[in-house]
């Protein structure tokens, strides 16, 4: 009897110890992956949190700690990368990618990508923005091209039935639309981010193979002169500052301009803010008989110093995989970078989004080498000066090119 009692007591203690240890220890192999991005709209933030919850439900061993860096995003990321305190996974804009990819701070993803991941499903233009020296450093999560938004009522009033097919037609339409229902025919965004495809239309380049600015070439000037002539000679286009607005979408929505070239982000904004506005979208008119537009994209990348690389890859592969991407882009505020997801969602047939989707095949990626700030800031400052008539276009671009290249040389 006594012998059985001690045996029973030993079993009871063993069971109790097992229960206590199970409660006191963390779940086996649970890993926390830190994800950082910049703040989007409340709708965007809510959607991302839902997608991350879906990921955690399917990967109970991985917890995602999501952080919004709302101010000076790239400065914060670069500082943390130097201090070895960067997140495991973070957003990287294509514009900033060449510099970071060249600094050996990002994890190459080639060895993680399996045939099942179906890399060939991504739009090549978008994927190429995150390749450097034969390695893939990021997988694009979404994108937008630019397309022509036009006011349907204004077109009817001016007797115009179809969108302009080429830039000469756009200028002609713009004159006919100015001073009718709208103050101006066309809303112009003078930043390089909206002008680079015009530089390329006549065979110009923004930068050369050494990442030096080349936007003062005769070919580049030919494309940019179209903008100057429409604004200064025709007086049928306006900048946002001319009409007291903060964006191209706003000047179009408020009826200050009848046409504007904008991205996918403008669609939900216009539908929510100006629900009575009747608008349609067409591909950007051709220049020099060539189709052209811009494409903007952002990737998920992995920190090379991450202590949780396997889990970080699980997160990236879910967010950019077919299921995760369909959830992320299914509401239409962002376009999917996978061809199969775009097809599933019907965006290539969508009357508003199909011109944006069509543009990805011939778009100029928004990427200007390893020193984007020097290129962009000098172009923007000098081009606006030329647009306002403060100096001739050629002089402005030579000055911008010279100053950009001096800054780049000082950084090399």
Q: Residue 372 pLDDT more than 70?
A: yes
295 in Cβ contact with 125 (< 8 Å): yes
pLDDT at 391: 97
Q: Residue 17 pLDDT more than 80?
A: no
Other beta carbons less than 10 A from residue 58's beta carbon = 12
Q: Mean pLDDT across the chain, nearest whole number?
A: 93
Give the number of C-alpha atoms closer than 13 A to the C-alpha of residue 368, restricted to the C-beta side: 29
Residues 6+ apart with CB under 8 A from 46: none
Domains of the chain by range and CATH?
31-143+296-365 (3.40.190.10), 145-294+367-411 (3.40.190.10)
- Say how far apart CA 309 and CA 107 lie, in whole Å: 9
CA distance to 191, 196, 218, 343, per residue, from 403 (Å): 17, 18, 18, 45
- More confident call, 155 vs 29: 155
Structure tokens at 323: 């299921």
pLDDT at 215: 94
For 275-304, write each residue's pLDDT tens digit: 999 999 999 999 999 999 999 999 999 999
Can you tell me the mean pLDDT for 156-166?
97
What are residue 111's phi and psi, to 5 degrees? -75, -15
């Amino acid at each position: 009897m006594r012998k059985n009692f001690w045996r029973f007591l030993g079993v009871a203690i063993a069971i109790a110890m097992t229960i206590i240890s199970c409660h006191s220890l963390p779940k086996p192999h649970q890993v926390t992956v830190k994800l950082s991005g910049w703040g989007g709209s409340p709708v965007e933030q809510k959607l991302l949190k839902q997608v991350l919850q879906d990921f955690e439900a399917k990967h109970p061993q991985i917890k995602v700690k999501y952080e919004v860096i709302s101010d000076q995003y790239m400065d914060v990321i670069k500082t943390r990368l130097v201090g070895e305190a960067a997140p495991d996974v973070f957003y990287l804009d294509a514009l900033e990618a060449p510099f970071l990819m060249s600094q050996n701070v990002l994890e190459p993803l080639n060895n993680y990508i399996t045939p099942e991941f179906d890399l060939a499903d991504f739009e090549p233009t978008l994927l190429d923005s995150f390749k450097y020296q034969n390695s893939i450093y990021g997988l694009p999560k979404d994108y937008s091209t630019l397309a022509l938004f036009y006011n349907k009522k204004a077109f009817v009033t001016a007797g115009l039935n179809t969108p302009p097919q080429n830039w000469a037609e756009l200028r002609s339409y713009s004159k006919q639309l100015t001073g009718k229902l709208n103050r101006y025919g066309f809303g112009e965004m003078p930043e390089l981010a909206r002008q680079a495809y015009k530089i390329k239309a006549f065979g110009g380049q923004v930068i050369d193979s050494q990442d030096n600015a080349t936007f003062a070439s005769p070919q580049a000037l030919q494309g940019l002169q179209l903008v100057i002539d429409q604004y200064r000679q025709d007086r049928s286009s306006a900048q946002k500052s001319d009409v007291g607005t903060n964006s191209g979408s706003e000047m179009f929505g408020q009826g200050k301009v009848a046409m504007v070239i904008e991205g996918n982000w403008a669609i939900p904004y216009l539908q929510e803010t100006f629900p009575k506005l009747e608008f349609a979208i067409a591909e950007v008119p051709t220049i020099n008989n060539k189709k052209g537009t811009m494409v903007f994209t952002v990737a998920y990348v992995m920190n090379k110093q991450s202590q949780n690389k396997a889990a970080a890859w699980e997160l990236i592969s879910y967010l950019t995989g077919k299921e995760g991407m369909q959830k992320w882009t299914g509401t239409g505020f962002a376009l999917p970078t996978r061809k199969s997801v775009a097809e599933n969602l019907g965006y290539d047939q969508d009357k508003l989004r199909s011109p944006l989707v069509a543009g990805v095949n011939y778009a100029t990626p928004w990427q200007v080498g390893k020193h984007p700030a020097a290129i962009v800031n000098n172009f923007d400052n000098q081009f606006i000066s030329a647009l306002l008539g403060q100096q001739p276009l050629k002089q402005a671009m030579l000055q911008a090119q010279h100053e950009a290249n001096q800054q780049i040389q000082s950084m090399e």
